[in-house]
Amino acid sequence: MDATLTLIANREATSLTPLDIETVSTLSGGREDTVLSPGEAVDIVCAPVSPALLDTIRAALGDRPLDLLLTDGNSRRKRVLVADMDSTMVATETLDDIAAEAERLRPGIGEAVAAVTRQSMNGEIDFQTSLRNRVALLKDLPSSLLEAAASHLRLNDGARTLVATMRASGAVTALVSGGFTFFTARVADLCGFSEHHANHLNISGDTLTGTVREPILGPDAKLDHLKRITETAGIPLGDALTIGDGANDLPMLRAAGLGIAFHAKPVVRKEIVNRIDRTSLRSALFAQGYTVAEFRDA
Protein backbone atom coordinates (compact mmCIF):
# COMPACT_ATOMS: atom_id res chain seq x y z
CA MET A 1 0.00 0.00 0.00
CA ASP A 2 1.30 3.46 -0.89
CA ALA A 3 1.86 6.13 1.73
CA THR A 4 1.77 9.89 1.39
CA LEU A 5 4.18 12.34 2.96
CA THR A 6 2.78 15.87 3.16
CA LEU A 7 5.44 18.55 3.36
CA ILE A 8 4.19 21.92 4.63
CA ALA A 9 5.92 25.26 5.08
CA ASN A 10 5.13 27.92 7.63
CA ARG A 11 3.74 30.43 5.15
CA GLU A 12 4.59 33.36 7.43
CA ALA A 13 8.26 32.42 7.51
CA THR A 14 9.25 30.70 4.27
CA SER A 15 8.22 28.91 1.07
CA LEU A 16 8.94 25.36 -0.01
CA THR A 17 12.03 25.04 -2.18
CA PRO A 18 12.91 22.39 -4.80
CA LEU A 19 15.62 21.21 -2.38
CA ASP A 20 13.06 20.68 0.40
CA ILE A 21 10.94 18.51 -1.88
CA GLU A 22 13.96 16.66 -3.29
CA THR A 23 15.24 15.88 0.21
CA VAL A 24 11.94 14.28 1.23
CA SER A 25 11.50 12.45 -2.09
CA THR A 26 15.03 11.04 -2.11
CA LEU A 27 15.03 9.80 1.47
CA SER A 28 11.52 8.32 1.22
CA GLY A 29 11.86 6.88 -2.28
CA GLY A 30 9.05 9.17 -3.38
CA ARG A 31 7.73 8.64 -6.89
CA GLU A 32 5.54 11.65 -7.56
CA ASP A 33 4.38 14.85 -5.95
CA THR A 34 1.21 16.94 -6.07
CA VAL A 35 1.08 20.63 -5.19
CA LEU A 36 -1.64 21.37 -2.62
CA SER A 37 -0.77 25.04 -2.13
CA PRO A 38 1.97 26.70 -4.21
CA GLY A 39 5.05 27.26 -2.07
CA GLU A 40 3.24 25.99 1.02
CA ALA A 41 2.24 22.34 0.77
CA VAL A 42 2.95 19.31 -1.39
CA ASP A 43 2.01 15.62 -1.30
CA ILE A 44 4.75 13.08 -2.04
CA VAL A 45 3.64 9.52 -2.79
CA CYS A 46 6.05 6.88 -1.53
CA ALA A 47 6.34 3.39 -0.10
CA PRO A 48 5.36 2.94 3.57
CA VAL A 49 7.60 4.96 5.89
CA SER A 50 8.60 3.81 9.38
CA PRO A 51 8.55 6.24 12.32
CA ALA A 52 12.36 6.00 12.45
CA LEU A 53 12.69 6.98 8.79
CA LEU A 54 10.19 9.80 9.29
CA ASP A 55 12.39 11.17 12.07
CA THR A 56 15.43 10.85 9.81
CA ILE A 57 13.75 12.86 7.07
CA ARG A 58 12.66 15.52 9.54
CA ALA A 59 16.23 15.74 10.81
CA ALA A 60 17.49 16.16 7.23
CA LEU A 61 15.24 19.20 6.82
CA GLY A 62 17.10 20.79 9.71
CA ASP A 63 15.78 23.97 11.24
CA ARG A 64 13.64 24.89 8.27
CA PRO A 65 10.15 26.01 9.43
CA LEU A 66 8.50 22.95 7.88
CA ASP A 67 6.26 20.11 9.03
CA LEU A 68 6.06 16.61 7.59
CA LEU A 69 3.00 14.40 8.10
CA LEU A 70 2.45 10.79 7.09
CA THR A 71 -0.81 9.17 5.95
CA ASP A 72 -1.64 5.95 4.14
CA GLY A 73 -3.13 5.89 0.67
CA ASN A 74 -6.70 5.10 1.70
CA SER A 75 -9.38 7.14 3.47
CA ARG A 76 -7.22 10.23 3.87
CA ARG A 77 -10.20 12.57 4.15
CA LYS A 78 -11.64 11.98 7.58
CA ARG A 79 -15.35 12.08 8.31
CA VAL A 80 -15.06 12.98 12.00
CA LEU A 81 -13.02 15.73 13.68
CA VAL A 82 -12.58 15.78 17.46
CA ALA A 83 -10.39 18.65 18.63
CA ASP A 84 -9.02 19.82 21.95
CA MET A 85 -9.51 23.51 22.78
CA ASP A 86 -6.78 24.94 25.03
CA SER A 87 -3.45 25.47 23.22
CA THR A 88 -4.96 23.74 20.19
CA MET A 89 -7.93 25.61 18.76
CA VAL A 90 -7.12 28.62 20.94
CA ALA A 91 -3.68 30.00 21.73
CA THR A 92 -3.72 29.75 25.52
CA GLU A 93 -4.89 27.66 28.48
CA THR A 94 -8.16 29.25 29.55
CA LEU A 95 -7.86 28.19 33.20
CA ASP A 96 -4.47 29.89 33.30
CA ASP A 97 -6.14 32.95 31.76
CA ILE A 98 -8.72 33.03 34.59
CA ALA A 99 -5.93 32.85 37.15
CA ALA A 100 -4.01 35.62 35.42
CA GLU A 101 -7.08 37.83 35.62
CA ALA A 102 -7.31 36.99 39.33
CA GLU A 103 -3.73 38.05 40.03
CA ARG A 104 -4.71 41.55 41.19
CA LEU A 105 -7.15 40.05 43.71
CA ARG A 106 -4.97 37.14 44.83
CA PRO A 107 -1.28 37.78 44.04
CA GLY A 108 0.66 34.64 43.07
CA ILE A 109 -2.36 32.67 41.89
CA GLY A 110 -1.39 33.00 38.24
CA GLU A 111 1.89 31.14 38.56
CA ALA A 112 0.44 28.67 41.06
CA VAL A 113 -2.23 27.58 38.58
CA ALA A 114 0.13 27.65 35.58
CA ALA A 115 2.62 25.41 37.38
CA VAL A 116 -0.01 22.72 37.97
CA THR A 117 -1.19 23.08 34.35
CA ARG A 118 2.34 22.36 33.11
CA GLN A 119 2.59 19.27 35.31
CA SER A 120 -0.74 17.99 34.04
CA MET A 121 -0.07 18.59 30.34
CA ASN A 122 3.30 16.86 30.67
CA GLY A 123 1.65 13.84 32.29
CA GLU A 124 3.39 14.34 35.66
CA ILE A 125 0.11 14.26 37.63
CA ASP A 126 -3.26 12.88 36.63
CA PHE A 127 -5.62 15.31 34.94
CA GLN A 128 -8.56 14.98 37.34
CA THR A 129 -6.43 15.73 40.40
CA SER A 130 -4.73 18.65 38.70
CA LEU A 131 -8.05 20.18 37.64
CA ARG A 132 -9.54 19.91 41.12
CA ASN A 133 -6.39 21.43 42.64
CA ARG A 134 -6.32 24.34 40.20
CA VAL A 135 -10.02 25.11 40.50
CA ALA A 136 -9.77 25.03 44.31
CA LEU A 137 -7.38 27.99 44.08
CA LEU A 138 -10.22 30.02 42.55
CA LYS A 139 -12.53 29.63 45.56
CA ASP A 140 -14.45 32.80 46.52
CA LEU A 141 -13.23 34.78 43.51
CA PRO A 142 -15.83 36.67 41.41
CA SER A 143 -17.32 34.80 38.45
CA SER A 144 -16.80 37.96 36.37
CA LEU A 145 -13.25 36.71 35.92
CA LEU A 146 -14.60 34.25 33.35
CA GLU A 147 -15.86 37.04 31.13
CA ALA A 148 -12.59 38.91 31.53
CA ALA A 149 -10.61 35.84 30.50
CA ALA A 150 -12.94 35.18 27.56
CA SER A 151 -12.26 38.66 26.21
CA HIS A 152 -8.71 37.52 25.47
CA LEU A 153 -9.65 34.37 23.54
CA ARG A 154 -7.61 34.14 20.35
CA LEU A 155 -8.14 31.40 17.80
CA ASN A 156 -5.05 29.76 16.40
CA ASP A 157 -4.32 30.28 12.71
CA GLY A 158 -6.44 27.95 10.62
CA ALA A 159 -8.93 27.02 13.36
CA ARG A 160 -12.00 28.30 11.53
CA THR A 161 -10.74 26.99 8.21
CA LEU A 162 -10.13 23.48 9.55
CA VAL A 163 -13.64 23.14 10.94
CA ALA A 164 -15.45 24.84 8.08
CA THR A 165 -13.65 22.86 5.39
CA MET A 166 -14.29 19.51 7.04
CA ARG A 167 -17.94 20.38 7.68
CA ALA A 168 -18.34 21.39 4.04
CA SER A 169 -17.15 17.89 3.15
CA GLY A 170 -19.76 16.34 5.44
CA ALA A 171 -17.64 15.64 8.51
CA VAL A 172 -19.02 15.62 12.06
CA THR A 173 -17.01 18.10 14.14
CA ALA A 174 -16.74 18.21 17.92
CA LEU A 175 -14.80 20.36 20.37
CA VAL A 176 -13.97 18.24 23.43
CA SER A 177 -12.01 19.93 26.19
CA GLY A 178 -10.80 19.40 29.72
CA GLY A 179 -11.52 23.12 30.12
CA PHE A 180 -14.88 24.68 30.76
CA THR A 181 -18.19 24.97 28.92
CA PHE A 182 -18.12 28.75 29.45
CA PHE A 183 -15.30 28.87 26.89
CA THR A 184 -16.09 25.89 24.65
CA ALA A 185 -19.52 27.37 23.88
CA ARG A 186 -17.86 30.50 22.53
CA VAL A 187 -15.10 28.74 20.63
CA ALA A 188 -17.54 26.24 19.13
CA ASP A 189 -19.66 29.14 17.90
CA LEU A 190 -16.68 31.02 16.49
CA CYS A 191 -15.38 27.97 14.61
CA GLY A 192 -18.66 26.29 13.69
CA PHE A 193 -18.26 23.00 15.59
CA SER A 194 -21.30 20.71 15.46
CA GLU A 195 -21.09 20.10 19.22
CA HIS A 196 -18.93 20.89 22.24
CA HIS A 197 -18.21 19.20 25.57
CA ALA A 198 -16.20 20.34 28.60
CA ASN A 199 -16.28 20.66 32.38
CA HIS A 200 -18.70 22.89 34.28
CA LEU A 201 -17.41 25.34 36.89
CA ASN A 202 -19.66 25.58 39.93
CA ILE A 203 -20.82 29.12 40.73
CA SER A 204 -22.85 30.36 43.70
CA GLY A 205 -24.45 33.72 43.02
CA ASP A 206 -21.62 35.65 41.43
CA THR A 207 -18.81 33.75 43.14
CA LEU A 208 -16.71 30.76 42.09
CA THR A 209 -17.06 27.91 44.60
CA GLY A 210 -13.66 26.40 43.88
CA THR A 211 -15.24 23.17 42.65
CA VAL A 212 -16.13 21.60 39.33
CA ARG A 213 -19.15 19.46 38.55
CA GLU A 214 -18.42 15.73 38.68
CA PRO A 215 -17.60 13.57 36.82
CA ILE A 216 -14.66 15.45 35.39
CA LEU A 217 -14.17 15.31 31.64
CA GLY A 218 -10.63 14.00 31.29
CA PRO A 219 -8.61 11.74 28.98
CA ASP A 220 -10.97 8.77 29.12
CA ALA A 221 -14.02 10.97 28.55
CA LYS A 222 -12.39 12.49 25.47
CA LEU A 223 -11.90 9.01 24.07
CA ASP A 224 -15.48 8.08 25.02
CA HIS A 225 -16.84 11.08 23.09
CA LEU A 226 -14.77 10.07 20.06
CA LYS A 227 -16.20 6.55 20.20
CA ARG A 228 -19.76 7.80 20.74
CA ILE A 229 -19.58 10.21 17.82
CA THR A 230 -18.16 7.64 15.41
CA GLU A 231 -20.57 4.91 16.50
CA THR A 232 -23.60 7.21 16.25
CA ALA A 233 -22.57 8.27 12.75
CA GLY A 234 -21.71 4.71 11.73
CA ILE A 235 -18.14 5.77 10.96
CA PRO A 236 -15.08 3.64 11.87
CA LEU A 237 -12.42 5.12 14.12
CA GLY A 238 -10.05 4.89 11.18
CA ASP A 239 -12.06 7.63 9.48
CA ALA A 240 -11.61 10.06 12.38
CA LEU A 241 -9.12 12.88 12.92
CA THR A 242 -8.21 13.97 16.44
CA ILE A 243 -5.93 16.84 17.34
CA GLY A 244 -4.54 18.01 20.67
CA ASP A 245 -1.45 19.04 22.59
CA GLY A 246 -1.45 17.56 26.09
CA ALA A 247 -1.14 14.25 27.90
CA ASN A 248 -4.91 14.18 28.44
CA ASP A 249 -5.33 14.04 24.64
CA LEU A 250 -3.21 10.91 24.19
CA PRO A 251 -6.03 8.30 24.38
CA MET A 252 -8.04 9.96 21.58
CA LEU A 253 -4.90 10.68 19.54
CA ARG A 254 -3.91 7.01 19.69
CA ALA A 255 -7.38 5.72 18.79
CA ALA A 256 -8.16 7.82 15.70
CA GLY A 257 -7.15 6.93 12.17
CA LEU A 258 -5.23 10.20 12.11
CA GLY A 259 -4.11 11.62 15.44
CA ILE A 260 -2.13 14.85 15.22
CA ALA A 261 -0.10 16.39 18.04
CA PHE A 262 -0.35 20.17 17.69
CA HIS A 263 2.60 22.19 19.08
CA ALA A 264 2.47 19.52 21.73
CA LYS A 265 4.10 18.84 25.07
CA PRO A 266 7.19 16.56 25.02
CA VAL A 267 5.32 13.53 26.36
CA VAL A 268 2.90 13.77 23.42
CA ARG A 269 5.51 14.54 20.77
CA LYS A 270 7.47 11.49 21.89
CA GLU A 271 4.55 9.12 21.24
CA ILE A 272 2.51 10.56 18.37
CA VAL A 273 4.02 10.12 14.90
CA ASN A 274 2.11 12.92 13.17
CA ARG A 275 2.97 16.31 14.58
CA ILE A 276 2.38 19.93 13.68
CA ASP A 277 5.35 21.63 15.31
CA ARG A 278 6.13 24.62 13.11
CA THR A 279 3.04 25.38 11.04
CA SER A 280 -0.67 25.99 11.61
CA LEU A 281 -3.95 24.09 11.84
CA ARG A 282 -4.18 24.39 8.05
CA SER A 283 -1.70 21.52 8.00
CA ALA A 284 -4.37 19.14 9.30
CA LEU A 285 -6.25 19.78 6.05
CA PHE A 286 -3.19 19.36 3.84
CA ALA A 287 -2.51 16.04 5.59
CA GLN A 288 -5.91 14.88 4.35
CA GLY A 289 -5.09 15.86 0.76
CA TYR A 290 -7.16 19.05 0.62
CA THR A 291 -5.90 21.70 -1.78
CA VAL A 292 -5.93 25.33 -0.72
CA ALA A 293 -8.63 25.98 -3.35
CA GLU A 294 -10.94 23.69 -1.35
CA PHE A 295 -10.51 25.55 1.93
CA ARG A 296 -13.60 27.17 3.43
CA ASP A 297 -14.09 29.81 6.12
CA ALA A 298 -16.58 29.69 8.97
Tell me if residue 2 is catalytic. no
User: Do the beta carbons of residue 260 and residue 69 sit within 8 Å?
Assistant: yes
- Rounded Cα gap, residues 259 and 249, in angstroms: 10
Cα distances from 48 to residues 13, 19, 33, 158, in angstroms, run: 30, 22, 15, 29
Q: Which of 33, 43, 67, 84 is catalytic?
A: 84
Up-side HSE of residue 70: CA atoms within 13 Å toward CB?
Answer: 21
Residue 188 CA to residue 123 CA, distance in Å, equals 26
DSSP H helices in 107-261? 109-121, 127-136, 144-150, 159-168, 181-191, 219-233, 250-255
Asked about 86 being catalytic, the answer comes back as: yes
- Could you say which of 33, 43, 67, 86 is catalytic? 86
CA distance 68 to 191: 25
**Sheet order of strands, 41-46 included:** 32-37, 41-46, 3-9, 66-72
- The residues annotated as belonging to the active site are 84, 86
